Amino acid sequence: MRDLSALIKAYDIRGVVPDQWGPDLSREVGTAFVEVLGIRSSDGGAGRIVVGHDMRPTGPDLVATFIDGVTAAGVDVVNIGLCSTDGLYFASGRIDVPGAMFTASHNPAEYNGIKLCRAGAAPVGQDSGLSQIREMLESENLPNYDGPYGSTSSQDMLLAYAQYLRELVPLDKSRRLKVVIDTGNGMGGFTVPAVLGDEILPALPLDIDPMYFELDGSFPNHEANPIDPENLRDLQKRVLEVGADIGLAFDGDADRCFVVDEKGGIVDPSTLTALIASRELVKAPGSTIIHNLITSRAVPEIVIENGGIPVRTRVGHSFIKATMAETGAIFGGEHSGHFYFRDFWKADSGMLAAMHALAALGETPESTTLSELLKPYLRYVMSGEINTKVTDAKSVIARIKETATKQGSELDELDGLTVSGDGWWFNVRSSNTEPLLRLNVEAKDMQNMEIVRDSVLSMMVG
């Protein structure tokens, strides 16, 4: 029996090609996905799946065999070719069919993977289909089909995607902005010219200074992972060199966006969450806004001040999307740079987040800078996520909990352990895939944040 635990993660399939997986296993995933979806009937052709891929060189071969596995089960495939992950979600939502996006997001060049969704871009994770797929693949208990085969068609969705995003966040009335955009040789180099440029739609009042727009899955300039500050250095430098109003960075599959202000400062995703939430609440007053428990406490404060209802969730897109569905939330944000929109089938879109940042700045007077615009949203000091290797995560968390209990701190175990005190809080939780503990700390000022941070870190290694 195969062990695919290193390949099939909590939210997607991701591993090294060909060491951990390749075309043969991709074909089996296609077959298993059809079975889990239950969209094949006895006469075949009972459903459709939309498939897309990023710029990684291994993508086309993996896509081809995945399509073989799907069509052999009598299910049709709509192949949209090169796309961002949010482009695949758009196609799944617009056509209302399940989807498969071949990408390894920000991982190094030797990786590839698949993000799966049900019709309407509904997530597929461990609790919603991935565990069943893993069981079928590990046991090699896959059905054999004798036809009829499904069909394969190609469809270009880029124009429709770009038009839809421009309808959600109009930028044509913005004041003129100078924007540096670093796509890290990822799929942003494909979508930015279509959505923000004039490649297929009329030009917007944006002067775009492009960085690393060439699609190259070997990532020759830097990793396409903007959550790591090192990968934002080139963007920060360029913003200052050209006197840009704003800088934008996308990850490899362009479903995450990070923002740099005119001073070269990195805008925390919590700040962007609060900004977008306040904008969405203007459109839908009194709506619910989702935020995970790692985001700044400023987020729920600002949501309440703007007449919204904040709802706190566990970390992870499946929890955000599920809670959005349960509450009818209009928007959700995560500390990792993922932003979810009700009007985008509750899916995450880095491009929509970028457009909100551009629109917010573009609506201000000519002299207003991004740092000035964001100042009201900056209320606390955050440590950022700190990863520490440990041999026994459970015992370390238990030790921290015991100490916090003795000190009379407020405890919360929604996701890992959250401890709150007078003007500070921290969360420590285990990684799903590595022997790591992830620590996030926030306080009213830098001194208190550092005191809390160092105290918790000492308990991790002590």
Q: In Å, what is the CA distance from 397 to each residue of 28, 59, 438?
A: 39, 40, 11
Cis upstream peptide for 57 (omega within 30°):
no
Scan for tokens 């995945």, then name that residue: 66
* Residue where the block lists tokens 């949209």: 80
Count other C-beta atoms under 10 Å from residue 182's C-beta. Answer: 31
Q: Do 73 and 150 touch, CB atoms closer than 8 A?
A: yes
Q: Cα separation of 48 and 63, whole Å?
A: 15
424 and 444 Cβ atoms separated by less than 8 Å:
yes
- CA torsion 185-189-192-197 (nearest 10°) is 130
Instruction: Compute the distance between CA of residue 198 and CA of residue 129 in angstroms, rounded to an integer.
Output: 40
- H/E element holding 223? none
Tell me, yes or no, if 105 is annotated catalytic: yes
- Strand, helix or coil for residue 418: strand
If one counts every other C-beta atom within 10 angstroms of the C-beta of residue 224, the result is: 32
* DSSP at 344: G
- Structure tokens belonging to residue 253: 């599959």
Cis peptide, bond prior to residue 148, ω within 30 of zero: yes
Q: Which two tokens stand for residue 35?
A: 């079975």
Helices vs strands, H then E, count in the chain: 14, 23
What is the distance of C-alpha 116 from the center of its chain?
A: 13
Report the candidate in 292, 320, 288 with the shortest Cα–Cα distance to residue 414.
292
Annotated catalytic residue within 105, 278, 318, 383? 105
CA dihedral 372, 377, 381, 382 (to 10 degrees): -120
Pairing of strands 381-382, 386-389: unpaired
The DSSP bridge pattern shows strands 347-348 and 424-430 to be: unpaired
11-42 in b/e burial notation, b at 16+ Cβ within 10 A? bbbbbbbeebbbbebbbbbbbbbbbbbebbee
Half-sphere exposure of 283 (CA within 13 A, CB side): 15
Residue 228 token pair: 């790591």
Q: Which residues are catalytic?
A: 105
